[in-house]
Structure 1
Amino acid sequence: MMFSKQLKLAALALAFGVAGAQAAPVGLPLLIEEGSVSGTPANAFWADQLSGQYDEVVTFIDATHFTTVAVFRAGAWYRDGSTVTEGQFLNGPGASGYNLYAKFIGSGTYSTSLSGSDIVTTFSATQNAIELWLDPSRNTVYNIPAAAGAPTPAFTDLALTSGAASLTDDRRLGSASITLAAGGNSSTGLANGNFEIVFGGFTLDAPDGENYFVAPRPFHMTLDLNGNFQSLTPVAGTSVALRNSSANAFFFNSVPEPGALALAGIALLGLGVAGKRRKSA
Structure 2
Amino acid sequence: MNFKSFAIASALALASTVSSAALVTVNEASLGVFGYTVQDVKQMTGTYQENVTVTNTGTFTAAAIANFTAFTNASGTAYSFVAGEAAVNATYQLYAVFTGAGTVGAGGVFTGTSGTFTLYALTGGVLGSPNLGFDISGNPTASANIVNVGAPGWTVTELASSNVMSYGLATGVGSESSSFKFLFDETTLTAAGKLFFIDPDPFYATVNVNGDVDDGLKALPGQYSNVTGQLSAEFTNTVPEPGSLALVGLALAGIGISRRRKNTAK
TM-score by length of 2: 0.72
What CA deviation, in whole Å up to 9, does each residue of 1:230-276 have, x standing for no partner? 3533332x211244410011112218xxxxxxxxxxxxxxxxxxxxx
Distance 1:187 1:220 in 2: 32
> Which of the residues 142, 155, 164 maps onto 1:178?
164
1:194 aligns with 2:179: yes
Flag as ranges the 4+ runs of structure 1 deviating above 4 A: 154-159
Q: Which residue of 2 aligns with 1:259?
A: none
Distance 1:71 1:240 in 2: 14
> Which of the residues 30, 37, 40 maps onto 2:31?
37
CA RMSD, 1 decimal: 2.5
Q: Which has more radius of gyration?
A: 2
Instruction: Tell me if the contact between 2:134 and 2:141 (Cα under 8 Å) persists in the aligned partners.
Output: no
Distance 1:157 1:175 in 2: 12
5+ residue gaps, structure 2, are 1-19, 240-266
Distance 1:69 1:253 in 2: 25
Q: Which residue of 1 aligns with 2:152?
A: 165
Identify if the C-alpha distance between structure 1 residues 200 and 84 changes in structure 2 by more than 3 Å, giving closer, same or farther.
same
> Which of the residues 132, 149, 152 maps onto 1:142?
132
Q: Which residue of 2 aligns with 1:227?
A: 211
Distance 1:148 1:74 in 2: 21
- Give the length in aligned residue pairs: 211
> Which of the residues 69, 73, 78 maps onto 2:72?
78
1:62 deviation in Å? 2.7
Distance 1:222 1:127 in 2: 15
Identify if the C-alpha distance between structure 1 residues 146 and 233 changes in structure 2 by more than 3 Å, giving closer, same or farther.
farther
1:161 deviation in Å? 3.0
What CA deviation, in whole Å up to 9, does each residue of 1:143-191 have, x standing for no partner? 1358616xxxx76499733224265x21000000111111111244x32
Identify if the C-alpha distance between structure 1 residues 82 and 44 changes in structure 2 by more than 3 Å, giving closer, same or farther.
closer
5+ residue gaps, structure 1, are 1-25, 113-119, 256-281
Q: Which residue of 2 aligns with 1:276?
A: none
User: Which segment is superposed worse, 127-136 or 37-46?
Assistant: 37-46
1:102 aligns with 2:96: yes
Distance 1:69 1:83 in 2: 27
> Which of the residues 193, 210, 225 maps onto 1:209?
193
Distance 1:160 1:62 in 2: 33
Distance 2:123 2:143 in 1: 22
Q: Which amino acid aligns with 2:121?
A: L
Distance 1:39 1:187 in 2: 40
What CA deviation, in whole Å up to 9, does each residue of 1:14-71 have, x standing for no partner? xxxxxxxxxxxx6311111111121324544331111000000110133311100000
Distance 2:232 2:158 in 1: 19
Identify if the C-alpha distance between structure 1 residues 180 and 101 changes in structure 2 by more than 3 Å, giving closer, same or farther.
same
Identify if the C-alpha distance between structure 1 residues 138 and 194 changes in structure 2 by more than 3 Å, giving closer, same or farther.
farther
Instruction: Tell me if the contact between 2:35 and 2:86 (Cα under 8 Å) persists in the aligned partners.
Output: no
Instruction: Tell me if the contact between 1:56 and 1:71 (Cα under 8 Å) persists in the aligned partners.
Output: yes
Distance 1:55 1:143 in 2: 9
Percent of residue pairs identical: 22
> Which of the residues 60, 63, 68 maps onto 1:69?
63
Q: Which residue of 2 aligns with 1:272?
A: none
1:129 aligns with 2:119: no
- SS of the residue corresponding to residue 83 of structure 1 reads coil
User: Which segment is superposed worse, 70-79 or 56-65?
Assistant: 56-65
Q: Which residue of 2 aligns with 1:51?
A: 45
Identify if the C-alpha distance between structure 1 residues 202 and 111 changes in structure 2 by more than 3 Å, giving closer, same or farther.
same
1:245 aligns with 2:239: no
Instruction: Tell me if the contact between 1:130 and 1:177 (Cα under 8 Å) persists in the aligned partners.
Output: yes
